[in-house]
Amino acid sequence: MAKNKAKTTNGNGANGSAAATTAQRLGTILKSSRDIMRKDKGLSGDVDRIPVLTWIMFLKFLDDMESMREEEAKLSGKKFKPAIEPPYRWRDWAAKDDGITGDELIAFINQEECRRPDGSKGAGLFAYLRALRGAEGGDRRDVIATVFKGTVNRMINGYLLRDVINKVNGIHFTSSDEIHTLGTFYESMLKEMRDAAGDSGEFYTPRAVVRLMVDVVDPKIGETVLDPACGTGGFLVETYSHMEKQCKTVQQRRKLQEGTILGGEAKPLPYLLAQMNLLLHGLETPRIEPGNSLAVALREIGDKDRVDVILTNPPFGGEEERGILSNFPEDKQTAETALLFLQLIMRKLRRAPKPGRAAVVVPNGVLFGDGIAARIKEELLREFNLHTVVRLPNGVFEPYTPIPTNLLFFDRTGPTGDIWFYEHPLPEGRKKYTKTAPIQFEEFTPLKDWWSKRVEGPQAWRVSAEGVLAKGSNLDLANPNAADDLERLPAAELVQRALSAERALIAILEDVQKQLAAEGVR
């Protein structure tokens, strides 16, 4: 993506030497910026601070890339068309340490109309960015407009905002080393933001789980990869990194950059965070569709809309509006978002020439659900090859949800013959994973070793699809090779055991009651 350069452009357009930066220096810049933000009364925590820092870095990143492309165009004698025109470029209003500040800076950023840094009157910064339009649609200007339609500047102190801008101006996005290092820092900040607010937990899948899913699905150069509920871009970033290692030629790198990594995200905040996350990890023009991926009627999805690989952790437990449900077959309309996404994923997988494949995180409710859930699973088993179900132990998604989760791996080579189940064990001596002791990728080594050499054992067993269909498509199956574990028993069996225990207790109490009555005890 970005190339190492000996020089970069400073605030007034002159070339100056770009000092070599280190992880320590970048860490200091980010920490100092966040410390400054803590003084601003408009920000209440990392959930507010990190989005502000993100849009500021986003604009600095864009200007550095534009400066680099402009220089390359001049050297090759080509005409350069900037995505952002003066006086809205970073170098015009942000790059000078003594640039606009205080109320003037807040007005320039927030207001629909204002006095701009060059002294003229015109649209404010965010108003200008939201109105950008690509020449033919789909270029960087459309991405910028979409990002800022859902972005709000929550800082209210213009002097503190200027201090943060001056800090961020010290990041050199023209250095691939800096971008790589900053990408790592940014992932850590997203994790902190997720830790700070339960609502952000829906955007996050543990890195170890993401990496496992990408590794075993193994997307290849030339394939298209989609996450229809991409959140902050964890699956897409891991996929890009996985595929980048396969690139041996310029053509392969171009292929990876253009139309390989696709996403969808309905909410403005994670959309912005995903854009920045992918940019920092090397994807030059992320193709993330804003809006609800469920908003398209399944019957309208054709071959041109299908992809080779889908990797996702769709939201579950939520409810969709009635208009969304009408996009699905009448007998498969449900309030459970996870089941709607499962149908979308099945529809979006490519049929030919090479059958598509998917890895999807689902809650236990999808496995044992009957009625509509059973009909959806029946379609999955009869028309797709559900070859593997990985059952994750308790606490993998703690503290954001206590709901047990599973990984479904399927492809379009169906119908399903046998289904392999693999029950991932907790480390010895542990009862569950926690926020401070999360699951680690290395713990999946036995599973990865088993993946290509499958045998039944203490953690793995196999069942026939016909047997599952005969029992109402219930996939919530206990490990027959393990001792009873109440936390892993099927829901129906847990209910049955609870009822039996309740009846036994009632019988004992009734006997006691009779004895007391016989003895005249009141």
- For residues 2 and 177, give the distance between their C-alpha atoms in angstroms, rounded to a whole number: 9
Mean of the per-residue pLDDT values for the chain? 87
- For residues 414 and 178, give the distance between their C-alpha atoms in angstroms, rounded to a whole number: 46
Please tell me whether residues 125 and 167 are part of one structural domain.
Answer: yes
Please tell me whether residues 183 and 285 are part of one structural domain.
Answer: no
- For residues 334 and 356, give the distance between their C-alpha atoms in angstroms, rounded to a whole number: 25
Q: Running DSSP on this structure, what letter comes out for residue 280? A: H
Its domain, for residue 73, covers: 7-196
Please tell me whether residues 24 and 54 are part of one structural domain.
Answer: yes
Task: Inform me whether the pLDDT recorded for 496 exceeds 70.
Answer: no
Task: Inform me whether the pLDDT recorded for 20 exceeds 80.
Answer: no
Q: Span 346-371, mean pLDDT?
A: 94
Q: What tens digit of pLDDT does each residue of 432-484 get?
A: 888 788 899 999 999 999 999 999 999 999 999 999 999 999 999 989 987 65
Query: How far from the centroid of its chain's Cα atoms is residue 33's Cα?
Result: 25
Structure confidence at residue 335 (pLDDT): 85
391 strand-pairing partners: 406, 423
- For residues 142 and 149, give the distance between their C-alpha atoms in angstroms, rounded to a whole number: 11
* Domain limit, last residue, from 168, 196, 224: 196
Residue 474 lies in a domain: no
Residue 208 lies in a domain: yes
Q: Which of 198-202, 274-278, 493-497 has the highest mean pLDDT?
A: 274-278
Residue 399 lies in a domain: yes
Structure confidence at residue 180 (pLDDT): 75
| Contact (CB, 8 A) for 171 and 57 | yes
Which is more confident, 110 or 438? Answer: 110
* Domain limit, last residue, from 166, 196, 226: 196
Task: Find the CATH number of the domain harbouring 173.
Answer: 1.20.1260.30
Q: What tens digit of pLDDT does each residue of 273-330 get?
A: 889 889 888 888 889 999 999 999 999 999 999 999 999 999 887 778 888 999 999 9
| Contact (CB, 8 A) for 407 and 209 | yes
Residue 459 lies in a domain: no
Structure confidence at residue 302 (pLDDT): 95
Query: How far from the centroid of its chain's Cα atoms is residue 214's Cα?
Result: 13
Please tell me whether residues 365 and 218 are part of one structural domain.
Answer: yes
Please tell me whether residues 322 and 367 are part of one structural domain.
Answer: yes
Please tell me whether residues 401 and 510 are part of one structural domain.
Answer: no
* Domain limit, last residue, from 406, 441, 476: 441
Least confident of 101-105, 187-191, 241-245: 187-191
Q: What residues have CB less than 8 Å from 429, skipping those under 6 apart?
A: none
| pLDDT level of residue 136 (50, 70, 90 thresholds) | low
Please tell me whether residues 98 and 209 are part of one structural domain.
Answer: no
| Secondary structure class of 372 (helix, strand, coil) | helix
Task: Find the CATH number of the domain harbouring 379.
Answer: 3.40.50.150
Residue 455 lies in a domain: no
Q: What tens digit of pLDDT does each residue of 391-432 get?
A: 999 888 877 777 889 999 999 998 999 999 999 999 988 888
Please tell me whether residues 292 and 384 are part of one structural domain.
Answer: yes
Please tell me whether residues 146 and 44 are part of one structural domain.
Answer: yes
Residue 467 lies in a domain: no
Q: Kindly state the percentage of the chain with pLDDT values over 70.
A: 89
Long-range pairs for 44-48: beta carbons < 8 A, 24 or more residues apart: 45/196, 45/197, 46/189, 46/192, 46/193, 46/196, 46/197, 47/193, 47/196, 47/197, 47/199, 47/200, 48/154
Task: Inform me whether the pLDDT recorded for 5 exceeds 60.
Answer: no
DSSP string over 365-428: HHHH--THHHHHHHHHHHHSEEEEEEEP-TTTTTTT----EEEEEEETT-S--EEEEEEPPPPT
Token digits for 458? 């203490």
Structure confidence at residue 196 (pLDDT): 67
Q: What residues have CB less than 8 Å from 42, skipping those under 6 apart?
A: 48, 154, 155, 156, 157
| Contact (CB, 8 A) for 223 and 308 | yes
| Contact (CB, 8 A) for 377 and 473 | yes
Please tell me whether residues 157 and 184 are part of one structural domain.
Answer: yes
Residue 470 lies in a domain: no
Structure confidence at residue 316 (pLDDT): 82
Please tell me whether residues 85 and 140 are part of one structural domain.
Answer: yes
Q: What tens digit of pLDDT does each residue of 142-180 get?
A: 889 988 998 999 999 999 999 999 999 998 888 777 777
Please tell me whether residues 406 and 282 are part of one structural domain.
Answer: yes
Residue 454 lies in a domain: no
Which is more confident, 407 or 182? Answer: 407
End-to-end CA distance of the chain: 85
* Number of domains within the chain: 3
Least confident of 8-12, 197-201, 261-265: 8-12
Task: Inform me whether the pLDDT recorded for 14 exceeds 60.
Answer: no
Q: What tens digit of pLDDT does each residue of 25-61 get?
A: 888 999 999 999 999 999 988 889 999 999 999 999 9
CA dihedral 489, 490, 494, 496 (to 10 degrees): -130
Least confident of 24-33, 119-128, 291-300, 340-349: 24-33
Q: What residues have CB less than 8 Å from 315, skipping those under 6 apart?
A: 202, 229, 337, 338, 341
